[in-house]
A and B are shown apart, each in its own frame.
Chain A
């Protein structure tokens, strides 16, 4: 044998240590998805049984994953934050917080989907598999401390979502949503990847920790065009995923066309995962170069608020209206990102904490609002026009009341979580001296209130052309899953509005335990 080759073969390769407790939440969801696929293949002849089993498996997987996330929180409290897998995975407060929101959103997404799938005749285990795989990618995203890993995680959850958007094969709108989401999603991923390549060329590493060290050494004035171009492309790529204006074009179409439970999941969990990456990359690793990226985030935030609120006001379709309002919500969170690490005395990051809290509240509001919209509708998703919501308070008093709650929360009315979330965002902006941003946010909140109140008024107003038999319309009987999901989201939003301190405290703790 060739002596050189022999020598190479005999050297001990340095193997990375597999830190099982840390990736356990990811593995739990992934294995569950694989088990469902296997069940489907083995029990070919009993599709009903497989579907029932896969629902049970999905919940077991989600609960197991949640338990492992809790364990991670315990590990951090015991031994502090750390990095593992050669620095590719960060374990800190934000990781746990984001994972918790994603798991809650996924569980609620499954609950909402069950009744919908029955109504539309789409009861297949594949839906659950794709939802779990998408959530897997999001959990990896919460951990990712390396730009390449961020990209892989982004693609894992996006690719599953492309299929979910096009899941209802009989409905042309759903297919169209899938294709639009796919083409623009792939486009934004390619831009994001080019941003990674340029940042790698400028700093010599894809590891966020090493990039941060590198940026700390270099004089900010000496930043090359390569680095700034890399930042710009990363912002564009992530801006697409969080649907921030001017990269929001796909959002209304995809939110409208996708099956409503998919829209609910897409609006809540995707935004959480993409913002987690945004916070970790920009507020974390690029903190030393914040003069380069802050102005861009400023523009994105103001544009998102403007486009989101004004376009929402002129929509005639409820799902589109909620899509535009989700763009506006991205604007509020971007304000938090803009001031994420400003005025960080005593290791406090009020902007980051406010963003995380807003993401938690937003995920619940979006799931709740889309959940009601889905329940009001009939087979085939035909009644999404605002005019279909006339006299809803008479026809379906309970659903109308629930939708009102979710809309008021999105508007930021006191005693709902939305109020506290907006308040903490504005406070962090004022504390950081960004008065214009805070004022822009408040103005957008005022216009936004009009948008939501318009729908509320439509539901409750009485007029001359009212149908006198409206009150006699049979009440929609909610299925168990939707009932549980809507109860949880509604009560959580009220709890977050009345007793927010514990949750705000958790968000602050999460940011104090942050890899920087």
Chain B
């Protein structure tokens, strides 16, 4: 079996699978990592994996709606960054460190 992949064999399904893998890495990271900043980066990774999937489908379906959707995602992600970092900074000011395990005032 020839393991060398030539450029022509990379098709839509490869991008789709890459998107799925990136999304899974992001989701797993969010659930496993405890640092608020890293959790935040994982959300960004998930959103960008979705962007990749959108573009892949747009190319495969020959439809521009998927590419347009990416712009909406980008803007939403930017807004989320602004708000998310503001909340993290506000918490960071009160205590030294942004580890999720320390944020446990409420339980039950």
Binding site for B on A (CB under 8 A): 148, 151-152, 155, 159, 162-163, 166, 169, 172-173, 175-180, 182-183, 186-187, 189-191, 193-194, 196-198, 200-201, 204-206, 252-253, 256-257, 315-317, 320
Contact = CB atoms under 8 A, between A and B. Distances in A.
A201 B80 contact: no
A178 B69 contact: no
B105 to A, nearest CB: 5
Nearest to A166: B87
B51 to A, nearest CB: 9
Contacts of B69: 148, 196-197, 200, 206
A205 B65 contact: yes
A163 B89 CA distance: 13
B76 A204 contact: no
Contact of B80 (A186, A191, A194, A253): A186
Contact of B83 (A162, A189, A315): A162
B83 A163 contact: yes
- Which of B40, B66, B79 has most A Cβ within 10 Å? B66
Contacts of B106: 173, 176-177, 252-253, 256-257
B65 A152 contact: no
Contact of B90 (A175, A194, A253): A175
A317 B106 CA distance: 11
- Which of A163, A197, A201, A257 has most B Cβ within 10 Å? A197
B91 interface: yes
A114 to B, nearest CB: 24
27 contacts: A148-B65, A151-B72, A163-B83, A166-B87, A166-B90, A172-B105, A176-B91, A176-B103, A176-B106, A178-B87, A179-B88, A182-B83, A183-B30, A183-B84, A189-B76, A190-B47, A191-B46, A193-B50, A193-B73, A194-B23, A194-B50, A197-B69, A200-B54, A200-B69, A201-B57, A315-B108, A316-B108
A250 to B, nearest CB: 11
Given A176-B103, A187-B27, A201-B60, A194 B49 contact: yes
By size class, the interface of chain B is: 35 or more
Contacts of B43: 183, 186-187, 190
Contacts of B83: 159, 162-163, 182
B3 interface: no
A152 B63 CA distance: 20
- Which of B66, B83, B91, B106 has most A Cβ within 10 Å? B106
A169 B90 contact: yes
Nearest to A185: B80
Contact of A175 (B46, B73, B94): B94
Given A166-B87, A197-B57, 7 more contacts: A148-B68, A169-B90, A172-B94, A191-B46, A194-B46, A204-B61, A205-B65
B40 A197 contact: no
Nearest to A315: B108
Interface string B69-106: 10011001001100110111011001000001001011
B80 A159 contact: yes
Nearest to A161: B83
Contacts of B108: 252, 315-317, 320
Contact of B66 (A177, A200, A256): A200
Contact of A155 (B40, B65, B76): B76
B105 A257 contact: yes
Contact of A197 (B54, B84, B100, B105): B54
A198 B49 CA distance: 12
B25 interface: no
Contacts of B19: 197
Contacts of A204: 61, 63
Nearest to B82: A159
